[in-house]
């Protein structure tokens, strides 16, 4: 037996002996790891949306106070608020899919039984993914051209591609959320692209009635 074969055999024996010990001390579960990544992504998404909303409010309030109290105006405030608001919109699209906040007309779907309604939801989700992919491609080209040209912001000392990069990022997250909905639909789980306004209204009404008691 050659030295290489002996070394390979020794490595395999060592791995077979140490791997169970390592796995027991540091358990790794593929499903748990994906769940952890998903939860982290949701927390980051919620944190960014909350930060953008708070920052936009603070900048707008400071601009109003500076203008009407101190007779002074921040030149960059309007553009910064516009960028914050745009980022809030593009990130909020995917968040709306996740929490079921988007509204739509589902009167025809409600007339169908569960199986045809699920098939129609799958087709609708696929069309949404195709649409989001087309817009993602277009927004990537748009941001890439702005980056190559080197256009700067009007009032802020940053290139315009930096705040506009949220466009492809937002549609990438949107495709991910639509993919989640599609996966649940294919498995037969309860999933929907739209929110249920009637159920939400009834829930809020019951909560208000409980508070009054």
CB burial of 151-178 (b: ≥16 within 10 Å; e: otherwise) equals: eebeeeeebbbebbbbbbbbbebbbbbb
Torsional sign, CA 77, 83, 86, 90: negative
191/124 Cα distance (integer angstroms): 12
Whether the predicted model's global pTM rises above the 0.75 cut: no
56/50 Cα distance (integer angstroms): 10
Half-sphere exposure of 147 (CA within 13 A, CB side): 11
Query: According to the model, what pLDDT value does residue 17 have?
Result: 47
205/213 Cα distance (integer angstroms): 13
Low-confidence ranges of the chain (pLDDT < 50): 1-3, 5-8, 10, 13-15, 17-19, 22, 26
Residue 165 in tokens: 């990069």
Query: According to the model, what pLDDT value does residue 169 have?
Result: 92
């Amino acid at each position: 037996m050659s030295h290489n074969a002996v070394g390979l055999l020794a490595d395999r024996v060592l791995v077979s002996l140490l791997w169970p010990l390592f796995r027991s001390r540091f358990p790794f579960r593929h499903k748990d790891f994906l769940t952890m990544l998903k939860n982290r992504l949701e927390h980051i998404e919620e944190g960014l949306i909350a930060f953008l909303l708070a920052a936009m409010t603070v900048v707008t309030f400071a601009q109003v106070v500076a203008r009407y109290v101190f007779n002074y105006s921040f030149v960059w405030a309007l553009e910064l608020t516009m960028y914050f608001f745009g980022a809030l919109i593009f990130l909020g699209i995917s968040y709306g899919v996740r929490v079921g906040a988007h509204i739509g007309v589902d009167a025809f779907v409600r007339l169908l039984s569960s199986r045809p309604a699920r098939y129609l939801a799958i087709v609708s989700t696929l069309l949404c993914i195709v649409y989001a992919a087309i817009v993602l491609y277009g927004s990537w080209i748009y941001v890439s051209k702005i980056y190559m040209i080197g256009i700067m912001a009007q009032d802020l000392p940053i290139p315009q591609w930096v705040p506009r990069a949220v466009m492809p990022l937002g549609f990438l997250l949107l495709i991910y959320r639509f993919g989640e909905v599609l996966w649940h639909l294919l498995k037969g789980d309860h999933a929907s692209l739209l929110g249920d306004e009637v159920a939400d209204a009834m829930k809020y009404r019951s909560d208000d009635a409980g508070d009054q008691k």
